[in-house]
Amino acid sequence: MARVIHNLLLFVIRLALKIRVLGYWSLIYAYCALCTIVALLKLWWNIVLRPTATFQWVIRETPPACLNDTSLGTHCYVRIKESGLRFHYVAAGERGKPLMLFLHGFPEFWFSWRYQLREFKSEFRVVAIDMRGYGESDLPLSTECYRFDYLVTDVKDIVEYLGYNRCCLVGHDWGGTIAWLFAIHYPEMVTKLIVLNCPHPSVFTDYALRHPSQLLKSSHFFFFQLPRFPELMLSINDFKALKALFTSRSTGIGRKGRWLTAEDLEAYLYALSQPGALTGALNYYRNVFSSLPLSHNHVRSPVLLLWGERDAFLEQEMAEACRLYIRNHFRLNIISGASHWLQQDQPDIVNTLIWTFLKEGEGRKSYRN
């Protein structure tokens, strides 16, 4: 009798798990369908208002001068033996100094760290990479090539290629997600972790499922699951949607005096208008639902989390919740009036807070190999 009850309980548990998984994926596909309908309505409205301009966009042939600014560093390339991919990065500061590695988010590239490259090159070997699928790094088009484990391994291989066994790791947005994961899986290689406007992945998963408001702000995660159509919507009207991400009143850089110049904006359009560039960038999203939740999630490095108060995509409540997963010193700074594009919006404040964090605890000697 006991065995029958035991088997019945196992059956119920397995059935409940299957129903939960089915409900999870049903929610995802239903939300994808809803986002698709909204996007189709936007496309139709664009065609009505601008029938000739809607399907016109220009591939930028020549990089703007700001991308060759020598004060930002030297353009370098490395081919990783493990993956066979070639990565582009910009490096400044003396070789042999402690390594500070920067990981950008969507839809950016190394250029988003220009203020930090200038600031920290005096005491660090600063390196801002074009992540897999971005900028001048290789752009594998298969969605499978953007699994979390591959993206984390890229960081490990680049750190070791540069001649280091540890670094101060700085990440924003998607780069922040990879930075969190790298610190979880390779704690011995991260002396200090600095994340901008990106919650711990486990915090994001738990919070989004319990807060419809965050689910709504994350609607692009669902829309980007579709093949090809998101690339079209980001391209129409000469990449109007991409321009709006950085410049609109609701999502763009909000601080007067830090708005992107026309040349800065062209730098982003130069990178993202190249063949395959949008697909590479969007493929980060196309693996996310099969990669979460995490099996390991504790961070043992000291962590600085910087958060723009006006982030249009991520709710501020997630920032404090990250403390649950950190087994070391944790500092959180909410920056008033700052947007999601924090390191470009408020570079002076960001740089000052990073310096303060770097000087805490063990001091800068702890960064040396």
Active site residues: 173, 285, 340
Distance, C-alpha 343 to centroid of its chain: 13
Residue 241 burial (10 A CB sphere; 0-12, 13-18, 19+): middle
Rounded to whole angstroms, the Cα distance separating 320 from 299 reads 15
Tell me the β-bridge partners of 335: 308
SS3 323: helix
DSSP characters for 248-303? STTTS--STT-SPPHHHHHHHHHHHTSTTHHHHHHTTGGGHHHH-S-S---B-S-E
| Residue with token string 């919006």 | 345
CA distance 264 to 251: 17
Instruction: List beta partners, residue 306.
Output: 196, 333
Asked, as a colleague might, if the bond just before 201 is cis with ω within 30 of 0, I would say no
Would you give the end-to-end CA distance of the chain in angstroms? 63
Pairwise CA distance, residues 309 & 317, whole Å: 10
Q: Is the dihedral of CA 40, 46, 52, 55 positive or negative?
A: negative
Q: What is the residue whose two structure tokens read 């990250």?
A: 322
Cβ-based burial of 215 (10 A; exposed 0-12, middle 13-18, buried ≥19):
middle
3-state secondary structure of 64: coil
